[in-house]
Amino acid sequence: MGSRTRQRRSSTVSRVTHPPELISAETISRRVRSLAADVDAFYAGTDRLVLIGVLKGSFIFLSDLARHLTVPHRIEFIAVTSYGALESEHADPVRLIMDVRHGIDGEDVLIVEDIVDTGHTLAYLMRLFSARNPRSLRTCTLLHKPERTERDITIDFLGFTIPDVWVVGYGLDYAERYRTLPYLAELPPELR
Ligand code: PRP
Query: Given this model, what pLDDT does residue 186 score?
Result: 96
| Pairing of the two strands 49-55 and 108-116 | parallel
Q: Quick one: which of 135, 109, 127 has its CA closest to 52?
A: 109
What number does the ligand 1 atom closest to the CA of 121 have? Answer: 14
DSSP string for 129-180:
HHTT--SEEEEEEEEE-GGG--S----SEEEEE--S--EEBTTB-BTTBSTT
Cβ–ligand 1 distance for 3 under 6 Å, the answer yes
Catalytic-residue membership of 164: no
Query: Given this model, what pLDDT does residue 3 score?
Result: 56
Which residue is closest in CA terms to ligand 1's atom 20? 57
| CA 155 / ligand 1 centre spacing (Å) | 15
Cβ–ligand 1 distance for 119 under 6 Å, the answer yes
Query: Given this model, what pLDDT does residue 97 score?
Result: 95
Question: Which amino acid does the sequence have at 5?
Answer: T
- From 6, 121, 152, 176, the mutation candidate for ligand 1 (largest count of ligand atoms within 8 A of CB) is 121
Query: Given this model, what pLDDT does residue 5 score?
Result: 56
In a structure prediction context, what are the per-residue pLDDT tens digits for the chain, which is 192 residues long?
445 654 444 444 445 468 899 999 999 999 999 999 999 999 999 999 999 999 999 999 999 999 999 999 999 999 999 866 545 555 678 999 999 999 999 999 999 999 999 999 999 999 999 999 999 999 999 999 999 999 999 999 999 999 999 999 999 999 999 999 999 999 988 778
C-alpha 185, offset from chain centre: 16
pTM of the model: 0.90
